[in-house]
């Protein structure tokens, strides 16, 4: 069964999207793999290591989340700080600019204000959509905020190409 997120309902996607069919038993639902260590090379010649986000359990939930969100891919993390750190360090380069909401979680604020400038990333801060719009520059690559999604979406309709992350912690 294909699980195209555009043609199947939420219930079908929750059950079938990203499912790992168990070849050993023929199970139709993804088994839970309790191992945290895997032989290398394994039969598929993969180096499975939990910190590489590639264990069977992680792959299943990633595919399910991507289907539910109608996205190309997804990643799960052990904490919000792990997710934010990975995203920022993977996508921001020296000389680029990022805009952040000025009342983010304290751990995020510390990471952003202490580490990103040290890596050559330029920062701006804002409290509302108008301040975010005023802070935009040609080198803006990223923004992180908790402001209303409808209002923020208007900024992204401008045709500019940058990443936007919405923090749902306090939503």
pLDDT of residue 149: 46
Q: Is residue 9 packed enough to be buried (19+ CB in 10 Å), middle (13-18) or exposed (0-12)?
A: exposed
The predicted-structure confidence for 104-149, as pLDDT tens digits, reads as follows: 888 889 999 999 999 999 999 988 878 888 888 888 887 666 544 4
Beta bridge partners of 144: 100, 165
pTM across the whole model:
0.64
Tell which wins on pLDDT, 150 or 117: 117
1 to each of 18, 21, 38, 47, 64, how far by Cα in Å?
A: 11, 11, 29, 28, 14
pLDDT of residue 171: 44
Instruction: Assess whether pLDDT exceeds 80 at residue 157.
Output: no
pLDDT of residue 101: 84
**Average pLDDT of the chain?**
76
The predicted-structure confidence for 71-103, as pLDDT tens digits, reads as follows: 888 888 878 888 889 888 988 899 999 888 888
**149 phi and psi angles, rounded to 5 deg:** -60, -40
């Amino acid at each position: 069964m294909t699980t195209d997120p555009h043609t199947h309902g939420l219930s079908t996607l929750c059950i079938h999207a990203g499912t790992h069919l168990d070849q050993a038993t023929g199970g139709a639902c993804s088994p839970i793999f309790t191992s945290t260590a895997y032989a290398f090379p394994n039969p598929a010649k993969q180096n499975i290591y939990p910190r590489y986000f590639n264990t069977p359990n992680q792959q299943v939930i990633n595919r399910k989340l991507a289907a539910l969100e109608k996205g190309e891919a997804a990643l799960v993390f052990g904490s919000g700080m792990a997710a934010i750190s990975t995203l920022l360090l993977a996508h921001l380069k020296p000389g680029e600019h990022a805009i952040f909401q000025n009342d983010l979680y304290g751990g995020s604020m510390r990471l952003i204000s202490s580490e990103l400038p040290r890596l050559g990333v330029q920062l701006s801060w804002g409290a509302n959509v108008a301040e975010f719009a005023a802070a935009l520059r040609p080198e803006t690559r990223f923004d992180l905020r908790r402001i209303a999604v409808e209002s923020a979406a208007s900024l992204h309709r401008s045709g500019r190409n940058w990443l936007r992350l919405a923090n749902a912690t306090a939503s």
